[in-house]
Amino acid sequence: MQPKKRQFSLLIVLFLLAYSCQTDDDNYTPLIAEEGEAYSGGETTVFNTSPEAFGFKAANLDQSLDADFGIGNSLFRQNWVTAPASTTARDGLGPFFNARACSGCHFKDGRGRAPLFNGDTNHGMLLRLSIPGTTANGSNLPEPIYGGQLQDNAILNTSAEANFEITYTNIVVEYPDGNTVTLQKPTYSFANLAYGEMASNVQISPRVGNQMIGLGLLEAIPESTLIGFSDEFDSDNDGISGKPNYAWNVQTQSLTIGRFGWKANTPTIKQQVAGAFSGDLGITSSLFPDENCPTGVDCNDFITGGTPEIIDLNLNRVTTYSSVLNVPGRRDYDEQNVLEGKELFNSANCTACHKPKIVTGNHTIEALENQTIRPYTDLLLHDMGEGLADNRPDFNANGQEWRTQPLWGIGLIETVNNHTNLLHDGRARNIEEAILWHDGEAAEAKNNFMNLSATKRQLVLDFINSL
């Protein structure tokens, strides 16, 4: 009879366990996604998770702009060639440049990376150069020989300005629970300086090409909204003191609020596009009509592709293309692990800078107007600490301040660009490393993340990967 008693007792225990679990389930309230949460770009959103996810036009774009979008796409993706050439609409490359096409730094409209090894030319990084001081309009003083940007390529029979090399130092970060992560801190040096030694006080800022999505929506955010986010002197004592940058607008010849670039040092998409044509490809435009040559080299000795080399019609087409690239829709946005990660993201106060929801205002492109978007940025400058500092001021930005990076599309970078490298110089090899580099104003949010259990940290990463 004893075995039967043990069997009966076991059944009672199993019943009680089942009842207990059922009671817990009854008390559990599943989290629910917000209405429209999947539409990161509002009505512009396209739901596509393929390697072309960043390259579609806004879903609500008027068909009248289809031709401009298509031609702009072609001008953006195809290589420019040296002059003279039969392809007169696409010649004038160089004489000094970083890439032969916009897509060289923004492959598939996505994100570039740092070189994988010294001598790697298939990447999307450049180095800004300057010396202490500013010009009359507040911009950086260029390095006396090599100007404001190192060009590591040149046309045939011409020496490139120089090459740059990167060495990494490992930094081990330990979580309170004992788990560790190894970060890599880059150091930059130059090789093969072709036109003389750089100034001893040169300031260097590495910049990786960013994904192109949603730029027009960011341009359509009202200036009053951005100013409303700012709290330069931390009047509410929350440790966050974001401020707008004010950059030189070459069209209006005045300082206007900056939105684009890693330090928000560019006010408009058109100026960002024209600046990239000038600095990255050596293509002149009406906004930037002068060729870039190091001191001692006469730019007049080179054949040009016209004056300017990209006409306003085509510059405007590339601007339109860059303005209306869609924002991909969210994935797994209603899964419980993602929603739990979202709550943890919010409670860690990450949203103090990465603003989840903004409504756009007026824009010259109607499809971008009055959209409820979820970019997870405030477009403001924040002190990110000494670890990420480039020690190079840029208009109102000091050497430790960076613009809050929009997080939309971050989970598709690996699909589109076959890597997960993040931050302004690509040093972070994944989202977790990027979080651990946060400091300064973001130190408290980072520490909140670090103090979570490993399981909850993964939930936060699941949420960010869904954006």
Q: In the prediction, which pLDDT does 26 show?
A: 56
Instruction: Give the mean model confidence (pLDDT) for residues 307-336.
Output: 98
Q: In the prediction, which pLDDT does 6 show?
A: 43
Q: Is the pLDDT at 22 greater than 50, yes or no?
A: no
Write the CA distances from 141 to 131, 135, 151, 203, 346, integer angstroms. 6, 6, 17, 10, 40
Write the CA distances from 317 to 203, 289, 323, 363, integer angstroms. 34, 18, 10, 16
Instruction: Give the mean model confidence (pLDDT) for residues 160-181.
Output: 97
Instruction: Give the mean model confidence (pLDDT) for residues 271-298.
Output: 97
Q: Rg of the chain over CA atoms, in angstroms?
A: 25
Q: Which of 290, 258, 291, 287 is nearest to 275 (CA)?
A: 287
What tokens appear for 332 in the block? 């797994």
> 102 pLDDT band (50/70/90 cuts)?
very high
DSSP 43-100: GG-B---STTTT-SBPTT--GGGHHHHHHHHHHHHSPPBPSS-S-GGGB---SEES-S
Cα separation, 242 vs 226, whole angstroms:
10
pLDDT digits (tens, 9 = 90+) for 391-438: 999 999 999 999 999 999 999 999 999 999 999 999 999 999 999 999
Instruction: Give the mean model confidence (pLDDT) for residues 171-199.
Output: 97
Instruction: Give the mean model confidence (pLDDT) for residues 163-174.
Output: 97
Overall number of domains in the chain:
1
What tokens appear for 143 in the block? 């390095």
Q: What are phi and psi of 381, to 5 degrees?
A: -85, 135
| For the chain, percent of residues with pLDDT exceeding 70 | 94
Residue 140: strand pairing partners: 134
Q: Is the pLDDT at 4 greater than 70, yes or no?
A: no
In a domain, 285, yes or no: yes
Q: Hey, which bits of 192-311 come out as E strands?
A: 203-208, 246-249, 254-257
> 87 pLDDT band (50/70/90 cuts)?
confident
pLDDT digits (tens, 9 = 90+) for 359-397: 999 999 999 999 999 999 999 999 999 999 999 999 999
In a domain, 7, yes or no: no
Q: In the prediction, which pLDDT does 8 show?
A: 42
pLDDT digits (tens, 9 = 90+) for 222-238: 999 999 999 999 999 99
Cα separation, 83 vs 15, whole angstroms:
83
In a domain, 33, yes or no: no
A 10 A CB-CB count for 203 gives: 19
Q: In the prediction, which pLDDT does 1 show?
A: 42
H-helix or E-strand spanning residue 390: none
Q: Which of 349, 347, 425, 431 is nearest to 388 (CA)?
A: 425
Q: Is the pLDDT at 5 greater than 50, yes or no?
A: no
Please indicate, yes or no, whether the overall pTM of this predicted structure exceeds 0.75. yes
Instruction: Give the mean model confidence (pLDDT) for residues 232-259.
Output: 96
Return the ∠ at Cα 405 (arms to 426 and 420), rounded to 5°: 35
Write the CA distances from 363 to 268, 324, 357, integer angstroms. 12, 11, 18
Q: Is the pLDDT at 311 greater than 90, yes or no?
A: yes
Q: Is the pLDDT at 447 greater than 90, yes or no?
A: yes
Q: Is the pLDDT at 445 greater than 90, yes or no?
A: yes
Contacts of 315 (CB under 8 A, 6+ apart): 270, 273, 274, 277, 285, 286, 287
- Domain range holding 328? 42-465
Instruction: Give the mean model confidence (pLDDT) for residues 1-28.
Output: 45
Cα separation, 312 vs 134, whole angstroms:
29
For tokens 């990110």, name the residue: 384
Cα separation, 318 vs 210, whole angstroms:
16
Q: Is the pLDDT at 182 greater than 90, yes or no?
A: yes
DSSP 431-454: HHHHHHH--GGGHHHHHHHHTS-H
**Three-state SS for 403?**
strand
| For the chain, percent of residues with pLDDT exceeding 90 | 91
Going 302 to 306 to 311 to 314, the CA torsion angle's sign is negative
Q: Is the pLDDT at 14 greater than 90, yes or no?
A: no
Q: Is the pLDDT at 250 greater than 60, yes or no?
A: yes
> 120 pLDDT band (50/70/90 cuts)?
confident
Q: Which of 77, 127, 36 is nearest to 359 (CA)?
A: 36
